[in-house]
Structure 1
Amino acid sequence: MKFTARAALMATGAALVLPAAAQARPLTAEDVAKLEYVGDVEISPDGSRVAYTTVSRPDVTEGEKDGGARTQLNLAWAPESARPFLPADQSVRGLRFSPDGRMISYLWREDGGETAVWAIPVDGGAPMKVAEVAKSGVRSYAWSPDGGTVYMLAGAEADKQRDAERKAGFDAIVYEEEDRLNRMFRASAATGYDAEVDAEPVAIEVPGYVSAFQVSNDGRTAVIESAPTPNVDDSYISKRVHILDLASGRVTREVETPGKIGDVEMSPDGRRLSMIAGVDMNDPAATTLYFVDAASGAMTALNEGAPEAAVDAEFLPDGRLVAVIHKGVQSALRTYNADGSIAGEIDGGSLILASVEEAGGTMVVTADSPMHPTELFSVANGRFTRWTSHNPWLSDITFGTQRAYTYTARDGQQIEGVLIEPVGGAPAGGAPLILNVHGGPEAHDSNGWVTAYSGPGQVAAGQGYAVFLPNYRGSTGYGTAFSKQHQGNYTDPEFTDIVDAKRALVADGIADPDRTGITGGSYGGYASAWAATAQSEEFAASVMFVGISNQISKFGTTDIPYEMYNVHSRAWPWDNWVKMLEVSPVYHVDKAETPILIMHGEEDTRVSPTQSYELYRSIKVRKPETPVRLVLYPGEGHGNQGAAARYDYNVRMMEWFDTYLKTGDRKAEMPAPRPNVGVGDEADEADED
C-alpha cells in the first residue's frame, strides 16, 4: 500500500491542515473518488442533536487500501457544528437514539463477531454492546418506548447440516429453493457498562421474509414489511405490510397494497400509516402517497394522478404528515393535514430533497444540489439552513452551467431533463455531447448533484463536453401515466425521446451532431446498446454498463422476470418471439458502426453478464471493424461498490469518449486495455516493505 502523508495524518489522528484555496480547476475522476456525503440521519427525542453518518470510500487515488463504502458516525447540534463520534475505521449503520436520548445506538460488527446493536453515551463514555442474536447478524432493530427492550430482525438460524456438507465439499447451490428467512426477536437492553447482554432473546413469529419493521409509540404493535420469499421479484410484486401484535405475535391486519411499496411510516397514535406505493400492479414505481387506516386497511390516496413522485414522508407529533415530493427535475417539502388536505409547501429551490426527519420540534432534510452531494439541512420558518459541508474543496472547482432543459419530442410530447453545458459554454457548431441515460426506466434525474463514478456529469463538462440527462417516457416524477407510456414497447417512445433530445440540443447550438455519444447503466445500458446498433448513425461513441442486449435471453437469466412482465413488457417472450427479438440490440448488430465500451459486474443477478458477452461476441464476429471492448469487474454486481472498481470505471469511460467522441473518429485505435490509475512501481515497493 502506498502510504501517503495524508494517510499518515489519518493514522496518527493529527489535525489535517487544509491548503489555501487553490486556483479554480475542473472536476476530475480523482475528485469523484474522494467525495463523501451524508447517509443515515436520526434526531434526538428532545431535538437538540442530530446523529448522522457520512458515506465515503477509500481514496485509492492516494494509495488507500481498496474497499467498499465506509459510514462514519457524526453528531451535529447547530449549523457547521458537528464532530465525528466514533473512530474513522468503525463503519456503522442503523442509527437510533435511545428513548431517553442519552445514547446513540447503531449496528456494528466487531472483528470476529456478528453484527450486533451497540450504543455510545451522548455525553461521553465508551461504546457498549446493547443486544445481539447468537451466531446471527442483526439486520435492523428498534427500541421499545421505555428503553428496556430492543426488538431485532436477524438473519436465518445456522444450518449445521448444510455447513458440514459445505466443509466436506458438497457446496452445490440449488437456485431459488433454499430460502433463508429473517427472524425477529426481543431482548432486554443492556445499557450499563457492566450489564450482561441477553444471551437468549425471545423469538417473535413473523410472516414470510421480513425486510423492515417499526414499533408503535405505545410498544404494543409493529408494522412489518414482508414478502413470501427473499427473491427480489417477490420484493417488487408480493411484498405486503402487516400489523403485528407484539405480545401474541398475531398478525391483526394485512394491508392489501395494489403494487410496489416504498416508504412506510406509523402515526404517533398508531391509528394510521402513511405509505408510498404504486397505484396498481402495473405501476412501474412506488410514487403515490397514501393514508392507511390501521384497523381496516383502507387506503386513501393523497396525490394520485399528480405529475410528481412522493419520495419520503414523516409524521409530525400533531398527526400531520410532511413529505418530500419530486416534481420533474425539482423538489419540494409538502405538509398534509390529518384529513389529507395540503397544509403548505416549501419549494426546494436549488436543493433536491431526498429525506425528511422530525423529532423534538426539530426538522431536518438531506439534500443535494448542482454544486454539492448530499448534505444535512434544518427546516424552520419556511427556509432550509445548511448544517454540514463535507467537501469544502469543491469551492475550488469550476462547474459547467447546469439547468433544467425541456424539448418537444416528435409526437408533440414535452420531455424534460438536466443539461450541463461545457465549462466556458458551447463553442460555435456545438460541443461534443454525452447523453447520460438513467436506468429503470422507473427513475428520474433531478437537477442536483448528478456526477458519479458512472455518470460523467461535471467531469465531462470540465473537459469540454455537454452532458444531458433525459427524463424520457417511462421516467418517474411526472405522474403514473407518464411512467407507463413505455409499457409494451421497449424502444418507442423511450429511445426516440433520446434521439429527439440530441436533435433539440443540436438545433439550439449546444451539441455537435457528429459528436454525440451515450452512456448509462441497466436500462440506460440497454439504451446505450440500442444506440450503438439500431441507431448507430446517430451516435459516435457508446459506453454500456450492466446493460441488456437480448430481451429473450434476459427473461431466462434475470432475478426479476415477473417485474419485467408487469411493468415493462406486459407480454412474455413466447407471446411473440419475433417482436421481442426485434427490440434486442443483438438483432441489429449488422448496423453497428459505433465504437462501444461494454462494462459489467461478474456477479450481476439483475442483468446477467452474459448479456454483455452476447453483444460483445456478436459485434466482434459480425462487425470486426467496429471498435468494441468488454470489461468485467470480479465480485461486483449490478453496479460497482468497490472504490477501485468505481475509479477504474470512471477513467475508462472518459478515455473512451476522449478517443472516439471528442475526435469524432470512429476508426481511431482503442485506448490501452489497462488505463493509468496511478498504480505501478510505488505499489511494488510497498509490497516489498
Structure 2
Amino acid sequence: MKLRPMAVAASLLASASIGATAQARPMTPEDVAKLESVGTIAVSTDGSRIAYTTASLPDITDGEDNGSFKQQLKMAYAPMTARDFLPDDISVSGIAFSPDSRMVSFVWADEGEDRAVWGIPVDGGAQRKLAAVEDANVRSYAWAPDGSRIWMLASAKENEDREKQAEAGFNAIVYEEEARLNRLFSASLGQEVDGDPVAVTIPGYVSGFRIAPGGKTAVVDSAPTPQIDDAYTSKRAHVLDLETGKVLRVIETPGKLGDIEVSPNGRQLSMIAGVDMNDPADTTLHLVDVATGTYRALNAGAPEAAVDAEWLADGRLAAVIHKGAQSALRIYNPDGTVAEEHDGGALILSSVEAGGNTLAVEASSPSHPTELFVWNNGSFNRWTRHNPWLSEIDFGTQRTFRYNARDGQEVEGVLIEPVGGAPRGGAPLILNVHGGPEAHDSNGWVTGYSSPGQVAAGQGYAVFLPNYRGSTGYGTAFSKQHTGNYTDPEFTDLVDAKRALVSEGIADPDRTGVTGGSYGGYATAWSSTALSDEFAAGVMFVGISNQISKFGTTDIPYEMYNVHSGKWPWDDWQGMLEVSPIYHVDKANTPLLIMHGEEDTRVSPSQSYELYRSIKVRKPEVPVRLVLYPGEGHGNSKAASRYDYNLRMMRWFDTYLKTGDRDAPLPDSRPELPAGTTGAGKAED
C-alpha cells in the first residue's frame, strides 16, 4: 500500500481555489473510489481543539492494495487549519479526549496485538498504550470523569477447548446457540497494561455504555443475545452500579433504541428511540429521569426525525433534526422546551459534539461529502476541506422535488438533473431507492459506490432519490404507512414519481430505470417484474424476491413482523407470495442486473438466486445477470468490490437504459478497469 508522508506542521487543507481549477469535467467511478470524508469527531473538554478522523478506502485505481475503510487521526485548531496526528498506516477508531484535554485516546491494534486503548499527548509525543484486556479486543471505552480510570467493553474470552476442537476438524456451528457476550473492565491508568483489569458484571449482551458524572454508575445498552433481531426489538438502557454490577433500573422503552447521552449533572438522559414496538425507527427524542426511569417524548408526532444529540455544559441539549430532505440544529432547555433552532440551509447535518464553548457538527452538501463545521456567530463555519479536486467536477443541479401520489399524498425526494439540464423529451432517469424502508435521503452528498448520483448526472442521466411511504424524516405516521403494506403505497409512489418527472420534462418515460439495495433492492425486483412495463432497466442489490423464504433465512424475523409485515407468513401464505417478485416473473421484460454479497445474513443470497433462476427459466428472453461478491455481507465493504459494483451498475444502465433497448445483448461480464488497477482488462463471458 502506498503511504503518504505524515504532515509535521499545520497545513491549509484547501490548497487550491475554485478559480484556479482546471476545466470542469464529469464525475467518474474512479472519483467515487478515492473520496475521503470526515469520519468521527471529538471536541476537547476545554473547547480549544477538535480531533477527528478521515475515512477513506485504499485507492485501488492508483494501484493501492485492496482493503476496507481506514480512519486517520487529525487535529483541527481553527478553520481550514489541521494536521495529521498519527502516520496514515495507523487506522484508529473511538477517538476521545481525556477529561483534562491533554491527551487524545483511541482504539488501535498494533501489529500482532489485540485492539487496545491508546493515547497521544495533544502537545506532542509518541502514542502509548493506556489500557488493554488480555487476549481480547477492546470494542469501545470511556474515561472516568476524574481521568484516573478507563472503562473498556471487550470481546468475549476465547474458548481454548473449542479452538482445539476446531483445529481437529470439529468446527460445526450450532446456529444461534453459541452466543459470545462482551465483557466490561475497569483499568487504572497507574497500573501496567499487562496487569489484570477489574471485571464488572454486566447484563446480557452489552453493545454500548456511558459513564455518568461521578464515575459511580453507567448507562449500558443491553439485549438478551448478540442477535441483530434482539438489538432491534429487545435492547434496553440499564443504569448500572459500577462497583457491584447491580442493575439499579431499566428504562423500559417499548421500541427501537438509538443514541443515549447523560446530562452534565447525571440526572437526565437524552434518548432517541421508537415510540412503540411497531415504530419502524428510533427517531423520537426523549428525556429520561434517571432516578425513576420515567421518560417523555419531546418531538413525538412531528414531521421530522431526531438523528443525534449532545448535552452542553450549561445543561441544555443540542440535537440534529432532519425535516424531510433538510436538517436543522435545535437547542433544548433542560426542561425540554425549545430554546432555539438553526436551519442547516444547504448543509445536511449528521452529528453533533460539544466541549467548552465549542459546538461542532458533521455535515455534507450536494457538492461535498461529510466535513467538519463549527457553529459560531450565528452560522456554520467550515473547518475542513477534503477532496479539493471536487472543484474540477461539473455537477448536475441537485434539489428537493415534491409531487403528489395518486391518492393525493405529497411525497418528496432529492433530484439530480443531468449536467447541462434535461434535453427535449426528457433524459434517461434512474430512481435510486433507499433501503429500510425506515430511512430517508437528504439533500446532501448522495453519490456512492451503489448510488449513481453525480456519476450518472455527468453521463446524461437524471437521478431521483424518492422518500416514499415508509421513509423516516416525515414523522412516525408517515413511516408507519408501510407496516402491513409491502408494495403499495410505497412502490406505486415510485411509478408516480416517474410520471411527475416526465410531466416536468425531466424524464423520458421509455428510459426510466430503478436501482437500490436491501429494501431498495426489493423495490428494484418488484419494479422489474410486477411493474416491468414502467421501467426499462434495473440494478438490484442484496434485495428480496420471496417474502416467504426470506422470513426463514433472515436474521431479523421479529423485526420483520413488528414493523414490516404485521403478520406471519402462515397467517396468509398466498398474500405473502403475491407481494414477492418471483410471483410476478411472468410479467418481467426489464433487463435486470442482480448483485449480492455471498456472506449476507440480513437478506440471504438465496433471494437473488431465486429471482435469477425464475427469470432464466420462465422468461429466458429477458436479459438477466447474477453477480456474487465473496466475503461481502449486506453491502460491500472492500474497495475492489465497491469499485467493481459501480462499474457494473453504470455499464448496465448504459447498455439498456440510456439506449432504451431492452433487447440489447449482455454487456461484458467484467467491466474494463483502469491501467493502474490490479487485474485490469476484460474477461470474456
Aligned pairs, number = 676
Contact 1:188 1:198 in 2 (8 A): no
Match of 2:269 in 1: 273
The residue type equivalent to 2:623 in the other structure is P
Residue 10 of structure 1 deviates from its aligned partner by: 5.1
Contact 2:521 2:541 in 1 (8 A): yes
Match of 1:507 in 2: 503
Match of 2:608 in 1: 612
Contact 1:185 1:201 in 2 (8 A): yes
The residue type equivalent to 2:24 in the other structure is A
Q: Does 1:430 align with 2:416?
A: no
Deviations 1:518-558 (A, max 9, x none): 00000000000001100000000000000000000000000
Q: How does 1:392-541 map to 2 (within 5 A)?
A: 392-541=388-537
Match of 1:30 in 2: 30
Deviations 1:451-500 (A, max 9, x none): 00000000000000000000000000000000000111201000000100
Q: Does 1:599 align with 2:591?
A: no
Contact 1:373 1:449 in 2 (8 A): yes
Match of 2:116 in 1: 116
SS of residue paired to 1:307: coil
Contact 1:189 1:198 in 2 (8 A): no
Match of 1:74 in 2: 74
Deviations 1:149-173 (A, max 9, x none): 1100000011011011011111111
Contact 2:414 2:466 in 1 (8 A): yes
Identity of matched residues, % = 70
Residue 11 of structure 1 deviates from its aligned partner by: 9.6
Residue 319 of structure 1 deviates from its aligned partner by: 1.3
CA distance in 2, matches of 1:137, 1:210: 15
SS of residue paired to 2:31: helix
CA distance in 1, matches of 2:485, 2:333: 40
Match of 2:198 in 1: 202
Contact 1:60 1:66 in 2 (8 A): yes
Residue 196 of structure 1 deviates from its aligned partner by: 2.6
The residue type equivalent to 1:401 in the other structure is T
SS of residue paired to 2:511: strand
- TM-score relative to the length of structure 2: 0.97
CA distance in 1, matches of 2:62, 2:355: 40
The residue type equivalent to 1:607 in the other structure is V
CA distance in 2, matches of 1:312, 1:682: 40
SS of residue paired to 1:452: coil
Match of 1:356 in 2: 352
CA distance in 2, matches of 1:134, 1:8: 31
Contact 1:520 1:544 in 2 (8 A): yes
- TM-score relative to the length of structure 1: 0.96
Match of 2:54 in 1: 54
The residue type equivalent to 1:177 in the other structure is E
CA distance in 2, matches of 1:382, 1:354: 19
Q: Does 1:235 align with 2:231?
A: yes
Match of 1:126 in 2: 126
CA distance in 2, matches of 1:558, 1:270: 39
The residue type equivalent to 2:95 in the other structure is L
Match of 2:139 in 1: 139
Match of 2:548 in 1: 552
Match of 2:39 in 1: 39
The residue type equivalent to 2:627 in the other structure is V
CA distance in 1, matches of 2:462, 2:120: 48
Residue 18 of structure 1 deviates from its aligned partner by: 7.8
Residue 678 of structure 1 deviates from its aligned partner by: 2.5
SS of residue paired to 1:460: helix
CA distance in 1, matches of 2:257, 2:474: 18
Residue 251 of structure 1 deviates from its aligned partner by: 0.8
SS of residue paired to 1:99: coil
- Among 557, 565, 571, the alignment partner of 2:567 is 571
CA distance in 1, matches of 2:478, 2:679: 51
Contact 1:180 1:230 in 2 (8 A): yes
CA distance in 2, matches of 1:144, 1:648: 45
Match of 1:4 in 2: none
The residue type equivalent to 1:586 in the other structure is I
Contact 2:3 2:89 in 1 (8 A): no
CA distance in 2, matches of 1:382, 1:246: 41
Residue 12 of structure 1 deviates from its aligned partner by: 12
The residue type equivalent to 2:454 in the other structure is Q
Q: Which 10-residue stretch deviates more, 311-320 or 638-647? A: 311-320
SS of residue paired to 1:451: coil
Q: Which 10-residue stretch deviates more, 676-685 or 143-152? A: 676-685
Residues 8, 130 of structure 1: CA spacing in aligned structure 2 closer, same or farther, 3 A cutoff? closer
Q: Does 1:85 align with 2:85?
A: yes
Contact 1:314 1:323 in 2 (8 A): yes
CA distance in 1, matches of 2:5, 2:651: 32
SS of residue paired to 2:482: coil
Deviations 1:606-659 (A, max 9, x none): 000000000000001111100000000000000000000000000000000000
Residues 328, 247 of structure 1: CA spacing in aligned structure 2 closer, same or farther, 3 A cutoff? same
Q: Does 1:651 align with 2:647?
A: yes
CA distance in 2, matches of 1:584, 1:610: 14
Residues 567, 602 of structure 1: CA spacing in aligned structure 2 closer, same or farther, 3 A cutoff? same
CA distance in 2, matches of 1:408, 1:682: 48
- Among 619, 638, 645, the alignment partner of 1:623 is 619
Residue 382 of structure 1 deviates from its aligned partner by: 2.2
Residue 98 of structure 1 deviates from its aligned partner by: 1.0
SS of residue paired to 1:485: helix
- Among 298, 301, 323, the alignment partner of 1:302 is 298
The residue type equivalent to 2:77 in the other structure is W
Q: Does 1:178 align with 2:174?
A: no
Q: Does 1:320 align with 2:305?
A: no
SS of residue paired to 1:640: coil
The residue type equivalent to 2:218 in the other structure is A
Match of 1:386 in 2: 382
Contact 1:450 1:457 in 2 (8 A): yes
- Among 629, 632, 640, the alignment partner of 2:628 is 632
The residue type equivalent to 1:518 in the other structure is V
CA distance in 2, matches of 1:69, 1:22: 29
Contact 1:187 1:198 in 2 (8 A): no
Extract unaligned runs of 5+ from structure 2: none
Residues 427, 358 of structure 1: CA spacing in aligned structure 2 closer, same or farther, 3 A cutoff? same
CA distance in 1, matches of 2:678, 2:187: 51
CA distance in 1, matches of 2:572, 2:192: 64
CA distance in 1, matches of 2:45, 2:514: 48
* Structure 1 residue ranges, 4+ long, deviating more than 2 angstroms after superposition: 7-21, 678-685
Residue 442 of structure 1 deviates from its aligned partner by: 0.1
The residue type equivalent to 1:101 in the other structure is S
Residue 245 of structure 1 deviates from its aligned partner by: 1.0
Residues 427, 302 of structure 1: CA spacing in aligned structure 2 closer, same or farther, 3 A cutoff? same
RMSD over aligned CA atoms reads 1.7
SS of residue paired to 2:203: coil
Contact 2:155 2:182 in 1 (8 A): yes
Residue 21 of structure 1 deviates from its aligned partner by: 2.3
Residue 147 of structure 1 deviates from its aligned partner by: 1.1
The residue type equivalent to 1:214 in the other structure is R
Extract unaligned runs of 5+ from structure 1: 2-6
Q: Does 1:213 align with 2:178?
A: no
Residue 682 of structure 1 deviates from its aligned partner by: 7.3
Match of 1:96 in 2: 96
